Structure 1
Amino acid sequence: MLTLALRGFRSRWTTFTGSFVALSLGVALLTVMGLALASSVDAPARGPERFAAAPVVVKAQDTLHVPTRIGDRTQPLAHPGPIPARTVAALRTLGKVTQDRTFAVGDDLIGHPWSTAAFAPYHLTAGRPPHAPDEVVATDTGTTVGEHLRTAHGTVRVVGTARAVGTARAGGAGGAEGAEGAEGAEGAGSAPVFERALFYTDARAAELAPVSTQLVVVAAPEAVRRVVAASGSGARVLVGAERRLADADPHRDAEALTTLNALFGTAGGMTGFVSVFVVASTFAFAVAQRRREFGLLRTVGATPGQIRRTVLTEALLVGVLASVAGCAMGSYGAPWLAERVVESGIAPAWFRIGEHAWPYQVAFWTGLLVALCGATAASWRAGRTAPTRALREATADEHPLTMPRFLCGIALLLTAAVTLALALLTDPGDLLHRKTYTSRPLLLITATALLSPLLVRPLIRLLTPRGTLVRANTTTALRRTAALAAPVLVTVALTGSLLGATATLNDARATEARERTRADFVMTSATGLDARTLDRLRAVRGAEVSQTASSAVYVLEEGVALVKSEARAVDPERLAATTDVPLTAGRIAGLSDDSIVVNEEWARHRVGEHVTVWLGDGTRRSLRIAAVMPVGTGDNGVYITPANARGAVVDRVEVKVREGAEASAVRTALRSAAPEATLLTRDAWLAAAYPSAGFASADSTTRLGYFLVLGIALLYTALSVANTLLMATSDRTRELASLRLAGATNAQVLRLVALESLTVVAVGALLGLLVTALNLTGMWAALGLQSVRSPIHVPWPELGATTMACALLAVSAAVVPAGLALRGPVGSRR
């Protein structure tokens, strides 16, 4: 068998080259995604930054702990409270206590009290510390002493610049005074910039951030622990590496890796599907193409088992060589991918591909298994065919759709239909989740591809005139036609389903927001609006003002799951003037300090029922349900009153112009009342907050993930189409020569080949469009059940571009080898 397989390599090198290239590229892609996924599991250990030189940091309780029958459930608090004053007083008896305060002063710019600068440690590189309320020290290297900066809290003057240096000792810390005069300390040991900050005087920082949730104590850690434990405040004592938990967003590395893990996991799964799909199809077509050869072997006495063993030996050789080559290519491709995701800002700067063995193992054995399975499925039918029938089948495809393939296709089609119906009946919101609408199309794509020989013939008859050679050739060689249409089907269906689902969901969210917002103007502030500013806004003549604050509530579902729900703290009377809250029961006017407005996703959502919740500061309350909202696209959270959102700051003000008032005058007065806030018209705010520009409005991670998937699909389409056409053209030399002998010119033959390719691409595109329509219809039905009225968004430009690319690839891959085969005298090609 080995000798026969090696001879087959020499005689049919075109077929085996195509299979080798398809498989090696598939293994390479699986290796790349596997290495990237393995490297995104664990974040590197990060040391403390702002408090690297602090001996002990005491952090107020910032986590909600709820006991359940299976253990404590935890969630981070939206509004951690301050460290109790009695605890602070007790700590002062141990040593110096410095209260830390952090507050936003602009986009990506935060403020701190100057007394905390020494604990990074920051050292002055120019100027002096701040002494007046409008003076600051800046860490931005592009800022100079004497410069005036406009912030959310007014204009300030830079009186000094500072830089963090990596020469801190964990056990010692000087006061802020020690930072003075350290202008020459910026030399060796400078640390990377980890924040853009302005340091205010301690008094001004206390005005801007009255609540202090953490402090630094210069004392022995054990003594601090005893005092904190005795206070019963739930505060944590941080020393050593734990001090990083006092930095801003200490879990950002883990969160970034979670995003990367989801990105590479999705891309890897789709890569595996596309590569396995195309490789198996390529191997099956390569084996089916050799029916004449198998028929001849059967006539000279070869048994079905010998034929199967020959094919499997060939597949084993190709599989081993291609898998090894693919692993080698993947080892070079993975670092390149890591560099791209870092450059795009999706991954943190430290992300690198690590040393992992299991991705190579998975990719190698997957490639080998796909090669063997693809060859086995086709060789089984060839091996059991009678010799005379095998010779007859070499001229035409009499039974291109076998019973096992038909049954598998019907089973997958029924599975897709049943799971969709169950989801619509039980949990339509699940169809709006990214994992669901990313993976669900695979069932329909596979089912349609398996049943394609049944669907291809009627589509070809629809697209081509009766009695033409294009119709005769494409309907006679149904296996070849289906093999060429399959990769086009995959690419078009993935493009339409993934991009269409994202765009449809974005449009639905935008539609939901447009129907809900009645305000003429929307004012937002990342730093929050204080009480005096709100009083000025409410005093604007001709304006109905409704202020809201972002908060959260927590509820224990089924006694074991602590679920966080985003909440808006509102005044119900003012809210009614600017917002049309969608309700399925109750009235928004019924909202009070003892009640809550929930959505239907909550386990308990009947008006009048009481639910036990934990507020954003951890306070436990029993609130009556005043009204119920539909689930919608998932953005309908919870409404509470400001009394149940202690610590939340007003970050959005919606304004309705009263009848008879001039909008321009109201707008001018609003700008004067809150000059540091962002004021937008209703349409401008909706466009910024809920972009409905289809797929272009998706976040960068989603776009990158889908570009990876669709790029891989298009690459594989090019490869599969080129392979299939090259293999098919090598067997059509006699056919093309017969056309020339019958009087056709070279141009006519090439035009025929091109038209056949375009017809097959059109068939694949129509099947892909059918899958797209079915998937998007399911999402549209789910949105309707969620009380969202939004049309289906079909990405026609992207579908057109994908189909055109497939058509160009198919025509090029068909015409070029056909033109080479037609060279020379006509009689020499008989």
Structure 2
Amino acid sequence: MLSVAWRTLRARWAAFVGSFVALALGVALLTVMGQALAASLDAPARAPERFAAAPVVVGGQDTLRVATRTGERTKELARPRPVPAGTVAALRALGPVTEDRSFPVQAYGAPAAPDDLVGHPWSTARFAPYRLTAGRAPAAADEVATSGAWATVGTRLRTTDGPLRVVGTVETVDATGTTGTTETTETTETTGTAGTTGTTTRNGPSETVRELDFEHAVFYADAQAARLSPESTQLVVEADAAAVRAAVTDESVRILTGDARRLADADPGRDAEALTALNALFGTAGGVTAFVSVFVVASTFAFAVDRRRREFGLLRTAGATPGQIRRTVLAEALLVGTLASATGCVLGTYGAPRLAELVVDGGLAPEWYAIGGSSAAVWPYHLAFWTGLLVALCGALAASWRAGRTAPAQALREASVDGRALTRGRRACGAALLLAAVATLAYTLVTDPGELLHRKSYISRPMLLITAVALLSPLTVRPLAPRLPGAVGLLARAGAVVGVRRTAAVAAPVLVTVALAGSLLGATATIGAARAAEVRQQTAADFVVTPRDGTTLRTGVLDRLRQVPGTVVSAGSATTVFTLEDGVALVKSEARAADPALLAATVRLPVTAGRLTDLDDGSIVVTEEWARHGVGQRVRVWLADGTPKTLRIAAVLSIGTGDNGAYVTPANAGGGGVDRADVRVRAGADPTAVAARLRTVDGVRVMDKAQWVRAAHPQTNRTTRLGMLLVLGIALLYTGISLANTLAMAAAERRPDLTALRLAGATPGQILRLAATEALIAVAVGALLALLVTAVNLTGLSTALHLLSAPTSITLPWQALAWTTAACALLATLTALTSTTPALRSPRP
């Protein structure tokens, strides 16, 4: 059979080009996505940055550990604890101890000032190590030294903590120090009460100056840094590491040496977080790629085999058995699948580095991210190759089984006109998948409607419904095909209805692309609109004041806000609480801390049980999502700093869109600073005058209710848009491939029809219009089915929002639906015209 299949491929290679191209590109996409996923699994190991020259770094407790009957459960604390005073005293007996502090700095009046300035005490500068390049170290409260080239000695800064003057600039040097014997100038520190107060120079080994990108530092005098940031959660001990470990008896205290010192840097997990985001992006794109490519490849192979019914009928008439026909078709699929899958793996090898460049240039990945090379993983090639080959065989198997069962006379009779629209197997599979899609949606709505709001859910669920509708699509061609005026319109509709399998094959990729775009973008728009409406309903304040630097409000700033006459100011802080559900699961929940009396005046919370005014230092307000949410019940919680408490449930809130969190009093905030102040204008006060007074406070952003609601509406940033374009671009690319393949394969068998039309007097222009119109009818059928799938998916999402007591609406992304449909129509029209034109070049028959 392999020899017969090979001769068939050599003799009729043009008939297999479409299947080969579809499979090769599908395997290439799978290879690229697999390589991208493999490259996003492990983050590179970074060396210590701020503490590269520090002997030992000691940090307070940063992990919550809770013992359960199935073992210890851990969670990272939102706010690490400071090192215990007893431990600090024991460490001071070993050697000098330098307390580290980090706090945001918002500078005004310096056009080149970065937005991410971070303040430190000057005494910690030598541990990076930083060296003065100009000026001197800060000594007074209004003096600072800065890193980078954005400021020079003498620059005046205005901050929320008062005016500052830059008295020195610093750069970092390689902690190893020795890179050669070149005579250079080495800076030697002379330490005074405020750190380095001068420099001397001498000849010595070279130091390599290096610009670090991990922070833009502003160094204060130690006393001023302690005033601005009273709490220190880590410190540097200049002593032997073994002695430090012997002196520390508290098991919750971290002792960091060697490469572990990087854990004391700001955001040490940023590389892992970046890879987590990449992994989610490529996981989504890979899932869409796998779904679309498998769908298209299987349908392309099935359509290619189905179009050969005349050939199979002749073979049956000549005495071929059903088994021989099936084995021949499978052998052909095996050869094409092997060659195409191998080609796809080679194409994927060249395409993966291009994808890495694309995501890095688009800001989706860090600069160090790369795909392929000597470290390329092997498993993506195996996965893509065997998936492609298996899909090719399965796609050919379904059609070959039907071809083998067909009697010779029946095969010849059905060679030109499609008979039954659906086989029993396809009808059964489509009905089963449709029932499964509806049943799983209904089950989720009854048991856990909040699951439908998760990204993985509203991306994966439409695929099941899309597949079911695509399998049953031949049944919808006749009722959905539009009736068009004129002879060309009449013939085009008749051709679409008679060639129902061809029409369904063209409509299927359109259905996939448009339905994915509508369901994906419609879900995010619907959830975003619900969240904005929820914020609008819950906001009773006239103004919302937030820090301009996105951190927390200083005590002085909050006092100035409260001094504005005619206002009620409710200060709130973001925090977290941890609970142990079912005795085994340690769950982290977002929460807010606020004064209950002031909270009721500025926020309208969706209370379903209890009273908000009953909230006090011994109670908590929870949502219905909590395992225990009965009013009066007591729950064991751990605060943001790990402090354990048992609190009484004072009130219960509805789940909503998921943004409704727990509420506690400031006493249970776990040390969190105020990040928002809701301001209510008292009766008789002038709102315009109040807004003007609020805006005179430095370092804050003042928004009225309408502005706050608009700001709360989820915005699609550049990164999200690029990720969405990547996912939908894959679907659109494969749609074009499938449309081109299907229409090109169908063009060859339509030559007798075109010949008959030309004999009847049709002009080449009329025939081209007929081909384009028939392709557009198939696109219209696919688009209407996609709109139906999108409506069903968004209706389920809207029902889930209603069950969660959230504002409900359905937001259809009409612009995206129109653009994707127009793109599919353009591709179908161009392909239909291109594949029909060669048949018109011969003289009139």
TM value normalised by structure 1: 0.96
Would the aligned equivalents of 2:61 and 2:80 in 1 still touch at CA under 8 Å?
yes
Equivalent residue of 1:661, what SS?
Answer: coil
Q: How does 1:233-312 map to 2 (within 5 A)?
A: 234-312=252-330
| Count of residue pairs the alignment pairs up | 817
Which of 389, 394, 404 is the aligned partner of 1:368? 389
Equivalent residue in structure 2 for 1:540, among 564, 576, 590: 564
Q: 1:447 to 1:202 in 2, by over 3 A?
A: same
Answer whether contact 2:325 2:400 (CA < 8 A) is retained.
yes
2:509 and 2:735 in contact (8 A); partners too: yes
Describe the SS at the equivalent of 1:650: coil
Residue of structure 2 equivalent to 1:679? 702
Q: Secondary structure at the match of 2:458?
A: helix
Of residues 137, 140, 148 in structure 1, which corresponds to 2:148? 140
Which one of the candidate residues 229, 242, 256 is aligned to 1:209?
A: 229
Task: State whether residues 153 and 676 of structure 1, in contact with CA within 8 Å, keep that contact through their aligned partners in structure 2.
Answer: no
Checking the alignment, whether the CA contact within 8 Å between 2:615 and 2:664 is kept in structure 1 is yes
**Match of residue 61 from structure 1:** 61
Q: For the residues of structure 2 that align with 1:408 and 1:791, how far apart are their CA atoms?
A: 33
Q: Distance in 1 between matches of 2:419 and 2:588?
A: 60
Unaligned runs of 5+ in 1: 692-696
- For 1:631-710, list aligned pairs within 5 A: 631-672=655-696, 674-691=697-714, 697-710=715-728
The AA in structure 2 aligned to 1:419 is T
- The separation in 1 between residues aligned to 2:691 and 2:783, in whole angstroms, is 52
Amino acid corresponding to residue 219 of structure 1 in structure 2: A
Residue number among 380, 387, 399 corresponding to 1:359 in the alignment = 380
Q: Classify 1:701/1:562 alpha carbon distance in 2 versus 1 (closer, same or farther; 3 Å).
A: farther
Whole-Å separation in 1 of the counterparts to 2:226 and 2:296: 64
Match in the other structure for 1:804? 822
Q: Report the residue type matching 1:402 in the other structure.
A: T
Contact 1:53 1:169 in 2 (8 A): no
Spell out, residue by residue over 1:726-762, the C-alpha distance to the aligned partner (whole angstroms, 9 max, x if none).
1111111111011010011111111111111111100
Displacement after TM superposition at 1:11 (Å): 4.0
Query: Using a 3 Å threshold, how does the CA distance of structure 1 residues 775 and 180 change in structure 2: closer, same or farther?
Result: farther
Alpha-carbon separation, structure 2, partners of 1:646 and 1:288: 68
Could you say which residue in structure 2 is the equivalent of 1:164?
172
**1:338 maps to which residue?**
356
Shift of 1:668: 2.0
SS in 2 for 1:255: helix
Q: Deviations over 1:47-89 (max 9, x none)?
A: 1110010000110111111111121111122222222222212
Structure 2 residue identity aligned to 1:15? A
Q: 1:635 to 1:744 in 2, by over 3 A?
A: same
Pick closer, same or farther for the CA change 1:499–1:182 going to 2, 3 Å: farther
Distance in 2 between residues matched to 1:285 and 1:342, nearest whole Å:
39
1:558 matches 2:558:
no
- Which stretch shows the higher mean deviation, 86-95 or 361-370? 86-95
Per-residue CA distance 1:501-545 (angstroms, 9 max, x = gap): 011111111111111111111111134223333233222111111
What do residues 446-494 of structure 1 show as CA deviations (whole Å, max 9, x unaligned)?
A: 0000101111221116678999212211111111011000000000110
Kindly indicate whether residue 219 of structure 2 is the aligned counterpart of residue 199 of structure 1.
Answer: yes
| CA distance in structure 1 between the aligned counterparts of 2:811 and 2:318, rounded to whole angstroms | 59
Once the two structures are superposed, residues 343-371 of structure 1 have per-residue CA deviations (whole angstroms, 9 ceiling, x without a partner) of: 22221221111411110111011111111
Q: Retained in 2: the 8 A contact 1:406–1:451?
A: yes
CA distance in 2, matches of 1:478, 1:527: 61
User: CA offset at residue 626 of structure 1?
Assistant: 0.7
Secondary structure at the counterpart of residue 457 of structure 1: helix
After superposing the two structures, state which structure 1 stretch, 336-345 or 758-767, moved more.
336-345
The change in CA–CA distance for 1:489 and 1:591 in structure 2 (over 3 A counts) is same
Distance of aligned partners of 1:370 and 1:302 in 2 relative to their CA distance in 1, 3 Å threshold: same
Aligned: 1:190 with 2:210: yes
Superposed displacement of residue 684, structure 1: 1.6
**Paired residue secondary structure (2:420):** coil
TM-aligned CA deviation for residue 773 of structure 1: 0.5
**Please, what is the CA RMSD of the aligned residues?**
2.0
Paired residues of 1:115 and 1:175 also in contact (CA < 8 A): no
- Which is worse superposed, 564-573 or 815-824? 815-824
Corresponding position: 1:609 with 2:633: yes
In 1, distance between residues paired with 2:647 and 2:309? 74
| Separation (CA, whole Å) in 1 of partners of 2:610 and 2:353 | 56
Distance across 1 between alignment mates of 2:34 and 2:199 = 52
Correspondences of 1:245-644 after superposition (within 5 Å)? 245-353=263-371, 354-460=375-481, 468-525=490-547, 526-644=550-668
Matched to 1:198, the amino acid is: V
Name the amino acid aligned to 1:158: V
Amino acid at match of 2:567: A
CA drift of 1:7 comes to 3.4
After TM superposition, the structure 1 stretch with the greater mean CA deviation from structure 2, 149-158 or 777-786, is 149-158
Contact preservation (8 Å) 2:297, 2:395: yes
Distance 1:721 1:351 in 2: 35
**Counterparts in 2 of 1:187 and 1:97: CA distance versus 1, 3 Å:** closer
Report the Cα distance in structure 2 between the residues aligned to 1:724 and 1:646, rounded to whole angstroms.
63
Q: Secondary structure at the match of 2:275?
A: helix
After superposition, the C-alpha distances for 1:325-382 in whole angstroms (9 at most, x for unaligned) are 1111111111111112122222122111141111011101111111111111111111
- Give the deviation of 1:3 after TM superposition: 3.8
> How far did residue 187 of structure 1 move?
6.3
Q: Is the 8 A contact 1:163 1:186 kept in 2?
A: no
Secondary structure of 1:826's partner?
coil
1:128-162 residue CA offsets vs partner (Å, 9 max, x unmatched): 11111111111122222221233332332211111
Q: Residues of 2 paired with 1:689 and 1:126: CA distance?
A: 44
The 8 Å contact of residues 14 and 727 in structure 1, kept in 2 or not, is answered as no
Task: Answer whether contact 1:341 1:347 (CA < 8 A) is retained.
Answer: yes
Deviations 1:640-659 (A, max 9, x none): 00011141111111111122
Which residue of structure 1 lines up, in the alignment, with residue 160 of structure 2? 152
2:736 to 718, 723, 729: 718
Contact 2:129/2:172 (CA < 8 Å) preserved in 1? yes
The equivalent of 1:694 in structure 2 is: none
Partner AA of 1:46 in structure 2: R
Equivalent residue for 1:49? Answer: 49
Alpha-carbon distance in structure 1 between the residues aligned to 2:446 and 2:232: 49
Q: Cα offset for 1:188?
A: 2.6
Specify every segment of 5 or more residues in structure 2 that has no aligned partner in the other structure, as ranges: 107-114, 179-187
Paired position in structure 1 for 2:246: 226
CA-CA distance at 1:324 after TM superposition: 1.1
Per-residue deviation at 1:421? 0.7
Q: Which amino acid aligns with 1:384?
A: R
Q: How far apart, in 1, do the equivalents of 2:657 and 2:484 lie?
A: 40
| Farther-moved stretch of structure 1 (181-190 vs 97-106) | 181-190
Counterpart residue number, 1:4: 4
- Residue 100 of structure 1 contacts residue 216 of structure 1 at CA under 8 Å; is this kept in 2? yes
**Structure 2 residue corresponding to 1:129, chosen from 130, 137, 145:** 137
Greater shift after overlay, 697-706 or 620-629? 697-706
